[in-house]
């Protein structure tokens, strides 16, 4: 048992933002099972469409995105989260992922409150799917023609997968979970705006980096990573010689990725050579 916990701790510390989100969502779901009869966790985490509830529970504008009612919803969302984040971080960095994800939670939640407040309807919403749709749509708008292998079907373009999910949300607007599907569409629209603003030189996720920097200044430097490997080398010349090739290789790799993505945007995926296609599949 101890080794399992240590392994999970290691995976959490060395994993990226998406992996940590999965840990948080699964952990909160497991804990909530002990309070399933009393709705204790739902009353704490869920976002109400009544804006007056934000006065007493302001955290719910974010916390609703970490709570799930059903295990099926949790599994589907976590799989889609891993998929969306994987492709998003192919084109953007980890800070942008973090900033856009939380922005997706807040903006989708705000849209949910405003829509139903003017409808005079009050109920609660939980789930990470709106923020996930923000990430997925951003990746799709940036590189819609990227091929995705799908079991038993073959390769589908990324836009086809995203369009199928959006179509399902549109068809389900008259269901009992109308609020959830509306928030999905709001999240998708934010993802679309993110890419369009990026293309015009404005990064909507930059607030996260600014906030992180201010918090680091306010509370001091962040704690050192216990899993970071520190190499001691007293030969300054050899150290520089070892580091420079790595930097050059990384820059060349990113330049090649950018060139391929530009080519896809201009001429489509089919215009790529076989070597370029193979390279694109190996970048993750």
User: Considering the entire predicted model, what is its pTM?
Assistant: 0.76
pLDDT score at 159: 96
95 CB neighbour count, 10 Å cutoff? 15
pLDDT score at 268: 61
Q: Are residues 259 and 142 in the same domain?
A: no
- Going by C-beta distance under 8 Å and a sequence separation of 6 or more, which residues neighbour residue 159? 140, 144, 145
pLDDT score at 281: 64
Q: Are residues 43 and 66 in the same domain?
A: yes
Q: pLDDT tens for the chain, 284 residues: list them.
A: 667 777 777 777 777 899 999 999 999 999 888 887 767 778 888 999 999 999 999 999 999 999 998 899 999 999 999 999 999 999 999 999 999 999 999 999 999 999 998 888 888 999 999 999 999 999 999 999 999 988 888 889 999 999 999 999 999 998 888 888 999 999 999 999 999 999 999 999 998 888 888 887 887 655 544 434 444 444 444 443 444 443 344 456 666 777 777 676 556 666 777 777 777 666 65
Q: Are residues 142 and 252 in the same domain?
A: no
Q: Are residues 143 and 88 in the same domain?
A: yes
Looking at the structure of the chain, the number of domains it has is 2
Q: Does residue 225 form part of some domain?
A: no
Q: Are residues 200 and 239 in the same domain?
A: no
Q: Are residues 274 and 151 in the same domain?
A: no
Which stretches of 32-84 are assigned E, i.e. beta strand?
A: 47-48
Domain end marker among 187, 216, 245: 216
Q: Are residues 102 and 57 in the same domain?
A: yes
The range of the structural domain enclosing residue 268 comes to 231-282
Q: Are residues 24 and 103 in the same domain?
A: yes
Q: Does residue 226 form part of some domain?
A: no
Q: Does residue 222 form part of some domain?
A: no
Q: Does residue 224 form part of some domain?
A: no
Q: Are residues 59 and 174 in the same domain?
A: yes
Q: Does residue 26 form part of some domain?
A: yes
Q: Are residues 57 and 183 in the same domain?
A: yes
CA dihedral 242, 248, 143, 90 (to 10 degrees): 10
Nearest to 24 by CA among 111, 105, 124: 105
Q: Does residue 180 form part of some domain?
A: yes
Q: Are residues 255 and 189 in the same domain?
A: no
126 CB neighbour count, 10 Å cutoff? 21
Q: Does residue 223 form part of some domain?
A: no
Q: Does residue 241 form part of some domain?
A: yes
CB 130 within 8 A of CB 183: yes
Which stretches of the chain are assigned E, i.e. beta strand?
A: 47-48, 124-125, 147-150, 154-157
24 CB neighbour count, 10 Å cutoff? 14
Q: Are residues 241 and 156 in the same domain?
A: no
Question: For residue 78, what is the domain's CATH number?
Answer: 1.20.1540.10
């Amino acid at each position: 048992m101890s080794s399992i916990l240590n392994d999970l701790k290691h995976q959490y510390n060395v994993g990226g933002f998406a992996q940590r989100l999965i840990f948080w969502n699964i952990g909160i779901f497991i804990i909530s099972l002990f309070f399933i009869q009393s709705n204790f966790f739902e009353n704490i985490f869920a976002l109400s469409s009544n804006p007056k509830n934000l006065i007493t529970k302001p955290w719910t504008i974010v916390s609703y995105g970490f709570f799930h009612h059903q295990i099926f919803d949790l599994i589907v969302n976590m799989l889609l989260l891993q998929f969306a984040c994987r492709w998003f971080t192919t084109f953007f960095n980890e800070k942008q992922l973090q900033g856009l994800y939380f922005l997706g939670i807040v903006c989708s939640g705000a849209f949910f409150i405003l829509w139903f407040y003017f409808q005079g309807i009050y109920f609660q919403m939980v789930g990470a799917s709106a923020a996930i749709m923000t990430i997925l749509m951003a990746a799709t708008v940036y590189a819609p023609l990227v091929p995705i292998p799908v079991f038993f079907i073959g390769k589908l373009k990324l836009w086809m997968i995203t369009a199928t999910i959006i179509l399902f949300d549109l068809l389900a607007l008259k269901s009992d979970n109308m609020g959830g599907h509306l928030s999905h569409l709001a999240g998708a629209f934010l993802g679309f705006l993110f890419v369009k603003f990026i293309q015009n030189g404005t990064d909507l996720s930059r607030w996260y980096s600014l906030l992180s920097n201010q918090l680091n200044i306010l509370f001091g430097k962040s704690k050192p990573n216990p899993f970071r490997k520190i190499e001691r080398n007293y030969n300054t010349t050899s150290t520089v010689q070892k580091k420079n090739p790595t930097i050059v290789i990384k820059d060349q790799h990113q330049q090649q990725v950018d060139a391929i993505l530009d080519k896809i945007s201009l001429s489509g995926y089919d215009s790529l050579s076989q070597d370029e296609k193979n390279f694109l599949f190996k970048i993750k």
